[in-house]
Structure 1
Amino acid sequence: MSTIPEGFLTAAGHQLEYRWHGPAPKEAPTLVFLHEGLGCRDLWKDVPADLSARLGMGALVYSRPGYGGSSGITLPRSTDYLTPEALEVLPAVLDATGVERAVLIGHSDGGSIALIAAGRGEDPRIRAIVTEAAHVFVEDITLAGIREARTAWETTNLREKLARWHGANTDTAFHGWNDTWLTDAYAAWTIKDVLAGVTVPALIIQGEGDQYGTEAQVDAIVNGVSGPVEKLMVPDCGHVPHFEQRRRVLDAITAFVDALTP
């Protein structure tokens, strides 16, 4: 792992921006942050640094291809676009950074990627996962929220706001997420079949007022995985628990990860 705290790494043929906090991989386990469908490295803000300091672990944050300052992609995406992120890009990122013991922390699309990686990746470096607002199937509420985002893109300054974080990738980041979820084919998308392969400890978090999914997503995960699992439904909270109910959520993640190691 480079001693440079942020910059670019090469993984699966892409140049990906990254940031590192805390101890190097040889010194401690690493928290690996996987962002949501409109997210990137910088949109995690200070959450990775906070959890790194609380736990005495390293924290790796990166932007996937087509997001933030990472290299671009060509649209359209396939309906299974999360699978190569979990089984090709993520392992290559761990290789490039020298991560040996990883706790995946994934939000929304990132949570689904964490489940796929743990359920199908057979990667011994993945020791546990935390998901926030992960999806394992498509709900009507999800599609309604995505349609609302499309309306906001077309009628408000949403593009301008996203451009602050994604720069030249702004249009690709939005349409690669929004257009894909609104295709007819995506209505049948599911990753329920990967859940039985998740044998590592898992903490599954969702806001009770999540505008993109219901508690049925959490229950499907909790009932489907094979390893130890904890469920946390967060009151007075929407789609972004680590910001909307920061103390409660970060305390829960800290307690969960603390319990994994002596």
Structure 2
Amino acid sequence: MSVILKHEHYLEVSGEKIFYQHLIPQASETKKPTILFLHDAIGSVSQWRGFPDQLVKRLGYPAIVYDRYGYGRSQASSQKRDKNYLHQEALERLPAFLEALGLEEIILFGHSDGGSIAIIFAGQVPRNIHLHGVITEAAHVFVEEITLAGIREIVELAKQSDFLKKLAKFHGDKTDYLFKAWHKTWLSSEFRNWNIEDYLPQITCPALMIQGEDDEYGTQKQVDAIVSQVQGPRQKLMIPGCAHVPHYQAEEEVLKAVGAFLLWRDKILKP
């Protein structure tokens, strides 16, 4: 297991101030692509907890963990959100962030909204980027009723508990805007036909799709749709007794699965 160096930075990208962590394994025999972590709909760098650190220590890959615009320690946003907000993140903001970092060799690891962003990006990879692989947890490619029911439940929970107060520990005064932008977008009538399956046949890099069998925001139909339509080598992992956050609720299993996937990726791509 490697010792890691952790550096925290702010980077201005297209006029937006973005916070990120750079995790660097001290002992790495070969140059490896950087794993870029994409958080969920109301997530942040801090809400990954120690998972990225553990993955970097165990596997020896460098990583970037960042707060998207409007989240966590990045600049606040007052931008009106529409049904294409995930496309904007994947096709505009993420490429601009990578360019500002000077990063070209990457593996994407996306959770929930971050998984959907990873899928869109992987289906339309910029020419200057070498995407070595994509890993998703609880990604959505279309809207299901279970997703909407789960969001409605969280909205009610926020009214009756200190949920938003706890969320504010990560997002500060951005919390109210961020929470409303998320649930109002997903619960809007125009979002019902949101679908990103068109991007799946364009994905040719190795892919690992992870989902908890008890995910309260999506069914196995999401994973099956992805696995059946991507064109590159792929693996699927459904985790029993696990809900929407596999890297927290089944951390050890996810760490092992990612390690095995990356070894498999190296093997099948070896010249």
**Counterpart selection for 1:217 from 216, 222, 226:** 222
Question: Which moved further from structure 2: 146-155 or 31-40?
Answer: 146-155
5+ residue gaps, structure 2, are none
For normalisation by structure 1, the TM-score amounts to 0.94
Q: Report Cα offsets for 1:72-112 as digits up to 9, x if no partner.
A: 21243010100111111111221222222111000000000
Alignment partners' CA distance in 2, 1:190 and 1:12: 27
Q: CA deviation at 1:27?
A: 4.1
Map 1:174-213; keep pairs closer than 5 Å. 174-213=179-218
Map 1:230-245; keep pairs closer than 5 Å. 230-245=235-250
Is the CA contact 1:12–1:88 (under 8 Å) kept in the aligned structure 2? no
In the alignment, is residue 115 of structure 1 matched against residue 123 of structure 2? Answer: no
In the alignment, is residue 54 of structure 1 matched against residue 58 of structure 2? Answer: yes
Paired residue total: 259
Aligned to 2:11: 9
Aligned to 2:33: 29
> Root-mean-square deviation (CA), in Å?
1.7
Alignment partners' CA distance in 2, 1:108 and 1:41: 14
Q: SS of the residue aligned with 2:265?
A: coil
Q: 1:23 to 1:95 in 2, by over 3 A?
A: farther
Is the CA contact 2:33–2:132 (under 8 Å) kept in the aligned structure 1? no
In the alignment, is residue 172 of structure 1 matched against residue 177 of structure 2? Answer: yes
Q: 1:10 to 1:125 in 2, by over 3 A?
A: farther
Q: Report Cα offsets for 1:125-181 as digits up to 9, x if no partner.
A: 221000000000000000000001111122211110000000121112211211100
Alignment partners' CA distance in 2, 1:248 and 1:221: 21
Q: Which amino acid in structure 2 is aligned with residue 242 of structure 1?
A: H
Is the CA contact 1:106–1:130 (under 8 Å) kept in the aligned structure 2? yes
Alignment partners' CA distance in 1, 2:119 and 2:80: 23
Aligned to 2:48: 44
Runs of 4+ with deviation above 6 angstroms: none
Q: CA deviation at 1:216?
A: 0.2
Q: Which amino acid in structure 1 is aligned with residue 89 of structure 2?
A: E
Aligned to 2:20: 18
Map 1:93-132; keep pairs closer than 5 Å. 93-123=97-127, 124-132=129-137
Alignment partners' CA distance in 1, 2:13 and 2:202: 25
For normalisation by structure 2, the TM-score amounts to 0.91
5+ residue gaps, structure 1, are none
